[in-house]
Amino acid sequence: MRQWKLVLKCLLVAACALLYGTAVAQTYPAKVIRIVVPFPPGGPTDLYARVIGQKLQEAWGQPVIIDNRPGGTGLLGSDIVRQAPADGYTLLFTSNSAHVMGPLLREPRSFDPVRDFTPVSMVIRYPMYILVNAGVPARSLGELIALAKARPAQLNYSSVGTGSGGHLACELLNVEAGTQIVHVPYKGAAPAQTLPDGWVEAQFGPLASTAPSLIELRSRSGNVSFALIQ
């Protein structure tokens, strides 16, 4: 008898929790939603966030603002969201490299990507491409590798920051091809893609931040897709 009473109490508690959760869900959102993008405006993550934010605003009937907080390869913006109230009104729109790889490269870690955040959805997957400065005498991946071998540690490549996909992709190329292209981290895709003469010769980045005219190539491992802009 006592066991049945305990079961009944548990069912009542679960029912109340379900009804409460449903009521909360029906009233959400009731105010402005902030989407924190841990990269500067103009980059692919920012562009995707703005498209998603606009659609959410139309669907929810509430303002959705994009709050760019670049720094530390995404760690600054991520930490802002980690410290925000867990009420669903401060969301993080980030990349897997910033959210997973970034914390692993620093001690002490500013956040735990699993414990401190609740995943909502994966938005997009894309390959990485190589963009070269127009003054670089290389128009294929083979030519770029040959040039890098002829000039060890003299060619530079930019990325959106340490631990980013572009950083890891070029380091993979260095390992596989035996090159020594030097990493120059920036705070986002837009400044990293500037490729000023005398500073950097190449950049690894996603399709959204590169030109549409690309030659797609693939690394020997098959894990990273590379391309060189014509």
pLDDT, position 125: 77
222 has pLDDT over 60: no
- Model confidence over 86-102: pLDDT tens digits? 999 999 999 877 787 77
Q: What is the average pLDDT across 73-98?
A: 90
- Model confidence over 125-155: pLDDT tens digits? 777 778 787 778 888 888 999 999 999 999 9
Estimate to the nearest angstrom the gap between the alpha carbon of 90 and the chain centroid: 17
Q: Which CATH class is domain 27-125?
A: alpha beta
80 has pLDDT over 90: yes
35 has pLDDT over 60: yes
Radius of gyration of the chain (CA): 23
**Distance of alpha carbon 31 from alpha carbon 89, whole angstroms:** 8
pLDDT, position 91: 96
**Distance of alpha carbon 97 from alpha carbon 73, whole angstroms:** 9
> Is-same-fold flag (27-125; 128-229)?
yes
Q: How far is it between the farthest Cα atoms of the chain?
A: 85
CATH architecture for residues 128-229: 3-Layer(aba) Sandwich (3.40)
- Model confidence over 190-206: pLDDT tens digits? 676 665 555 788 887 76
Yes or no: say if 35 and 65 are a contact pair by the CB < 8 Å rule: yes
Task: Provide, rounded to the nearest whole percent, the portion of the chain with pLDDT above 70.
Answer: 72
**Distance of alpha carbon 185 from alpha carbon 159, whole angstroms:** 5
Per-residue pLDDT band at 107 (split at 50, 70, 90): confident
Q: Domain spans of the chain?
A: 27-125, 128-229
Yes or no: say if 188 and 90 are a contact pair by the CB < 8 Å rule: no
Estimate to the nearest angstrom the gap between the alpha carbon of 105 and the chain centroid: 15
pLDDT, position 228: 45
pLDDT, position 90: 96
Strands (E), the chain: 33-37, 64-68, 90-92, 128-132, 156-159, 182-185, 202-206, 214-218, 225-229
Task: Provide, rounded to the nearest whole percent, the portion of the chain with pLDDT above 90.
Answer: 33
pLDDT, position 51: 92
C-beta contacts of 57-61 below 8 A and 24+ residues apart: 60/29, 60/33
pLDDT, position 229: 41
Yes or no: say if 156 and 199 are a contact pair by the CB < 8 Å rule: yes
pLDDT, position 45: 85
pLDDT, position 216: 38
183 has pLDDT over 70: yes
Tell me the whole-structure pTM to 2 decimals: 0.61
Backbone dihedral angles phi then psi of residue 227, each to the nearest 5 degrees: -155, 155
Mean residue pLDDT across the chain = 76
Q: How many CB atoms lie within 10 A of CB 83?
A: 10
